[in-house]
Amino acid sequence: MLELRLVQGGLLKKVLEAIKDLVNDANFDCSPAGFSLQAMDSSHVALVALLLRSEGFEHYRCDRNLSMGMNLNNMAKMLKCAGNDDIVTIKADDGADSVTFMFESPTQDKISDFEMKLMDIDSEHLGIPEAEFQAIVRMPSAEFARICKDLSTIGDTVVISVTKEGVKFSTRGDIGTASIVCRQNTTVDKPEEATVIEMEEPVTLTFALRYMNSFTKATPLASQVTISLSSDLPGVVEYKVAEMGYIRFYLAPKLEE
Amino acid sequence: LKSQARIARFFRAS
């Protein structure tokens, strides 16, 4: 028996909007620790890892570990029917072939039940080692989204380079080149406007902008994004999900052959 | 010339 009640149901709507275009089908894993998902995009170039810790739910009942295969587009369709302020409860019986999403309006005067068929998904779970990164950049998520969008009008790839001068995003395409440098800036009025660069060593990596742009669909979740980089390793783009967890996007870099 | 790496190159099945 599974019953997860999330008062901030809007968070789940935003989570689905953030990942549904990158991943078609995925297993949601439910354990006493929380509600999680790990899935790769169809090209196996990007991986998304979601964690919503059990403490973040108002009520969290998960009698035994359960893996539920869902089509994320269909799940997003159902969650779109919830109001942004609705309380969302996810319910499933052990061995059931469906999951129920219950939406309660804040004033409790409207209760909706949406039942969605589950599916069998054969997916391998990858071990992601804890890594020390050469550079970690924390910046406003809207700024990062703007940079990715702007650069993708010029080129297909972004070179991200972190030095003590700052973080540089650059691209080149048929019509020319573009380069945007963001410097560390902690003297802002609001902490969410800060850009913080922690650098152990300078690092330069090349990524496909198509994926970066897809990751920025998570922007409504968090005012800040964290980009963690090490040479020749996947870059990690992380958005916090309120106080309860995170969405991490891992993107394999483009490497010299 | 750079080519697109895949995730499996870095993370193995657990």
Tens digit of pLDDT for each residue in A160-184?
Answer: 999 998 999 999 999 999 999 999 9
Instruction: Please tell me if residue A169 touches chain B, with a CB cutoff of 8 Å.
Output: no
Is the pLDDT assigned to residue A94 strictly greater than 90?
no
Beta bridge partners of A50: A37, A247
pLDDT of A124 reads 83
Closest chain B CA to residue A127: B14
Place of tokens 């995009």: A41
Residue-wise pLDDT tens digits, A178-230: 999 999 999 999 999 999 999 999 999 999 999 999 999 999 999 999 999 99
Mean pLDDT of chain A: 96
Structure tokens at A39: 């899935």
CA–CA distance, B8 with A249 (Å, rounded to integer)? 15
Count of H-run helices and E-run strands, chain A: 4, 20
Residue-wise pLDDT tens digits, A23-44: 999 999 999 999 999 999 999 9
Tell me the nearest-neighbour CA distance from B9 into chain A, angstroms: 9
Count of H-run helices and E-run strands, chain B: 0, 2
A45/B12 CB distance under 8 A: no
DSSP H helices in chain A: 9-19, 72-79, 141-152, 209-215
pLDDT of A257 reads 79
Q: Give the A:B interface size as CB pairs under 8 Å.
A: 55
The phi and psi torsions of A58 (rounded to 5 degrees) equal: -70, -35
What ipTM was reported for this prediction?
A: 0.96
Evaluate whether A33 touches A53 at the Cβ level (below 8 Å): yes
